[in-house]
Amino acid sequence: MNGTRRQPICMIVHAYYEEDARVRREAEALVAAGWSVDVIGLRRPGELPTAVIEGVSLNRLPVRRHQGAGLPVYLAEYGAFLMRALWAVTRAHRRRRYGLVEVHSLPDYLVFAALPLKMVGVPVLLDLHEAMPEFFRSRFPGAANPLSYRLLRLQERLSIGFVNELLTVNEPLAERLRAFGVQPERLTVILNSPDLKLFDPAVYPRREFMADGTLRIVYAGALTPTYELDVVIRAVATMRRLRPDVRVSASLYGRGDAAESLAALAVELGVADVVSLPGRIPIEDVPGAIAAADVGVAPTRLDRFTAMSLSTKILEYAAMGKPVVASRLPTVERYFVPDTLTTYEPGDAEALAAAILTLTDDPDDRRARVERTRARVEELGWERQAVSYRAVVERLVAGSGSRPQSRDPEG
């Protein structure tokens, strides 16, 4: 490996590193290829300010995430992290001499933490996980108005214009960026797909479908309004009412501001005995939780923001060999044909219940769907995405003006 490639890489992310699977996959992919990677992120109370995880060096700044808080709290949190990250990366660069700074959104304007390094010639890469204007309109509808949207679009344009290149997580988001004038040669799609070495069903005890006589449903993700887990709970109640012969349970792993209302809804509908909310589990424990279930659900509310999203949960369940039931979103239909996973109309609890029961009642179709969905996930898996990702990093660090022919990430 040449000296240029050995220049350290710095990542900046407004998240707890251990919880952000995409950031971890990217950082570990670089470490596996011989890079030195530092990540500047958030720190929980009681955590050490520095740590090393799988070869990745962490610098945890004393800023906490306030999930479920109001918009002013979010903005204050973002501002505090931006200023601390700017100071941290500038100080670290004196010693480390970074070859690249990669910034993960949200927020987009976090790229300006790399301003001092950009001024001395260090390239900056922005990984757009979400469309920030649409995210805030969905997450804070009370503050949504034409003026706030224009301001969000302005910060997005300024952030995009500041960086050397961009990554994003799927083709619909890429199409949105191209429509706004982003040059195709500056943009690469790196799908947010799971590492199949982590999500390997062979590592866990095999569970036959309803092996213990109970239909076990699993969800592993955030407990926020974006994900219609209330619909899942209503679907469980519907199944109990319509099919008392099918014993059903649901484990909804995660944390978020919807947790209390979901627990209250389970009590109200009389299904608290079969709906559990165990809280968040580490990424490393997610495959085991999926392996112990029968059906994985990816329930996403449909709006302008989620219409451009593809839930990583779909890919994780499929990788573990489980039948998947997901909201019928445009991006889901784009990446998966109808005879792979099973979809239902977003917001329709009875449709979700019917979809799950159809999988239960038709074992041949269920097994065929599992096989086809798993094959599709292998096409989209992280091993392939990592090759494209490392090529972007290598090109930027090398300072080459050339760009190889882009590969279709959809397989």
**How many Å apart are CA 221 and CA 281, to the nearest integer?**
9
**How many Å apart are CA 365 and CA 358, to the nearest integer?**
9
For residue 251, the cross-strand partners are 218, 276
For residue 252, the cross-strand partners are 219
What does the pLDDT read at residue 338? Answer: 87
3-state secondary structure of 371: helix
**How many Å apart are CA 190 and CA 167, to the nearest integer?**
6
What does the pLDDT read at residue 135? Answer: 85
Cα atoms found within 13 Å of the Cα of residue 256, Cβ hemisphere only = 18
Helix H or strand E encompassing 220: strand 214-220
φ and ψ of 178, to 5 deg: -65, -40
What does the pLDDT read at residue 410? Answer: 55
Contact criterion met (CB below 8 Å) for 249 and 216: yes
Residue 336 makes CB contacts below 8 A (sequence gap 6+) with 314, 373, 376
3-state secondary structure of 16: coil
R_g (Cα) of the chain, nearest Å:
22
To 10 degrees, the CA torsion angle through 304, 238, 323, 260? Answer: 60
What does the pLDDT read at residue 92? Answer: 97
DSSP-derived letter for residue 129 is -
Contact criterion met (CB below 8 Å) for 223 and 264: no
For residue 327, the cross-strand partners are 344
Instruction: Outline where DSSP puts E strands in 254-315.
Output: 275-279, 295-298
Contact criterion met (CB below 8 Å) for 146 and 313: no
Helix H or strand E encompassing 41: strand 37-42
Residue 217 makes CB contacts below 8 A (sequence gap 6+) with 232, 236, 248, 249, 250, 251, 293, 294, 295, 296, 297, 356
pTM for the whole structure: 0.87
Site of tokens 């424990």: 285
What does the pLDDT read at residue 5? Answer: 46
Site of tokens 């950009």: 118
CA distances from 144 to 72, 107, 135, 149, 187 (A): 14, 17, 11, 7, 28
From first to last of its 411 residues, the chain has per-residue pLDDT tens of 443 447 899 999 999 999 999 999 999 999 999 999 999 999 998 999 999 999 999 999 999 776 666 677 778 899 999 999 999 999 999 999 999 999 999 999 999 999 999 999 999 999 999 988 888 887 777 777 888 889 999 999 999 999 999 999 999 999 999 998 999 999 999 999 999 999 999 999 999 999 999 999 999 999 988 999 999 999 999 999 999 999 999 999 999 889 999 999 999 999 999 999 999 999 999 999 999 999 999 999 999 889 999 999 999 999 999 999 999 999 999 999 889 999 999 999 999 999 999 999 999 999 999 999 999 999 998 999 999 999 999 999 998 434 444 445 554
What does the pLDDT read at residue 402? Answer: 43
What does the pLDDT read at residue 69? Answer: 60
Sheet with 295-298, edge to edge strand ranges = 275-279, 247-253, 214-220, 295-298, 324-327, 342-344
3-state secondary structure of 308: helix
Instruction: Residue 34: name the closest of 60, 8, 62, 11 by CA.
Output: 8
- Long-range Cβ contacts of 348-352 (<8 Å, 24+ apart): 348/231, 349/231, 349/232, 349/234, 349/235, 349/237, 349/238, 350/235, 350/238, 352/231, 352/232, 352/235, 352/297, 352/299, 352/325
Instruction: Residue 365: name the closest of 381, 329, 341, 343 by CA.
Output: 341
Instruction: Residue 373: name the closest of 174, 189, 193 by CA.
Output: 193
What does the pLDDT read at residue 404? Answer: 44
